[in-house]
């Protein structure tokens, strides 16, 4: 079993609990870790036998384009899409971060991490 990580994916998106956040938008960071058996790809050097990073990125990008109120909801949606679109993935962990969240004080970013396994 291998872990494949896409780290530091950055997006400008329109998420947030408050209506104003969904109107003005903010910067977000997403990290994705997938666990999959990629030994065949390691041996044969074939892209079709592993997780295509570009397709994984596109999946995350599409979910980030859909507004949501909560970081938890975004992470769950990404996890579900990854499990749906990549049958070789056994588990996926996503961390979604919002830069400079409106908390009334200094906070570089707020993060939520969710891990889901294939049943």
**pLDDT for residue 27:** 97
What is the per-residue pLDDT across 44-96, written as a single tens digit (0 to 9) for each? 999 999 999 999 999 999 999 999 999 999 999 999 999 999 999 999 999 99
Domains of the chain (ranges, CATH numbers)? 2-117 (3.30.1130.10)
3-class SS letters over the chain: CEEEEEEEEEEEECCCCCHHHHHHCEEEEEEEEEEECCHHHHHHCCHHHCCCHHHHHHHHHHHHCCCCCCHHHHHHHHHHHHHHHCCCEEEEEEEEEEECCCCCCCCCEEEEEEEEECC
Q: Which positions are catalytic? A: 98
Q: Which residues sit opposite 96 in a β-bridge?
A: 30, 112
What is the per-residue pLDDT across 27-44, written as a single tens digit (0 to 9) for each? 999 999 999 999 999 999
pTM across the whole model: 0.94
**pLDDT for residue 37:** 94
């Amino acid at each position: 079993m291998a872990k494949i990580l896409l780290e530091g994916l950055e997006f400008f998106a329109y998420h947030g609990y408050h209506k104003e956040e969904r109107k003005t938008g903010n910067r977000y960071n997403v990290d994705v870790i997938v666990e999959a058996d990629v030994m065949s790809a390691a041996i044969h050097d074939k892209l079709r036998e592993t997780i295509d990073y570009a397709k994984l990125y596109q999946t995350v990008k599409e979910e980030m384009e859909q507004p949501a109120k909560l970081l938890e909801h975004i992470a769950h949606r990404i996890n579900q899409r990854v499990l749906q679109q990549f049958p070789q993935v056994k588990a996926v962990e996503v961390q979604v971060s919002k830069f400079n969240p409106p908390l009334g004080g200094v906070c570089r970013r707020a993060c939520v991490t969710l891990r889901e396994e294939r049943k």
